[in-house]
Structure 1
Amino acid sequence: MEQEQAPERRNNNRVLLIVALFLVLLGINGILFYMNQQKSKQNEQLAADIKVKDTKLEEQIKQYEALKADFERQSQELQGMGLANDSLEAKIASVNADLLKLRSFRAGSFSLADQKRYQQRAQNFERQLRQKDDEIAQLKKDNEMLFTETQTLKERQNKLTDTLGTIARSNQELSEKVAIASRLQAENIRVGVVNRRNKEAQDEDNEFKAKRVEKIKVTFNLSRNDVAPKETKLIMMRLLEPDGSALYNLSTGGGTFLIDGNEAFYTAKQEIVYDNTRQPVQFVYAKGNEYKTGPHTVELYADGYLIGKTTFTLK
Structure 2
Amino acid sequence: MEQNENTEPKNKSRLLLIVALFLVLAGINALLFYMNNQKGKQNEQLTAEVKAKDVRLEEQIKQYETLKADFERQSQEVQAMGLANDSLEARIATINSDLLKLRGFRKGSFSLAEQARFRNRATNLEQQLRKKDEEIAQLKADNEVLYTETTTLKERQNKLTDTISTIARTNQELSEKVAVASLLQADNIRINVINGRNKEKDDDDNEFKAKRVEKIKVTFNLARNDVSPKETKQIMMRLVEPDGSALYNLSTGGGTFMIDGSEAFYTAKQDIVYDNTRQPVQFVYAKGAAYKTGLHTVELYEGGVMIGKSTFTLK
TM-score, normalised to structure 1, is: 0.49
TM-score, normalised to structure 2, is: 0.49
Report the structure number with the largest CA radius of gyration.
Answer: 1
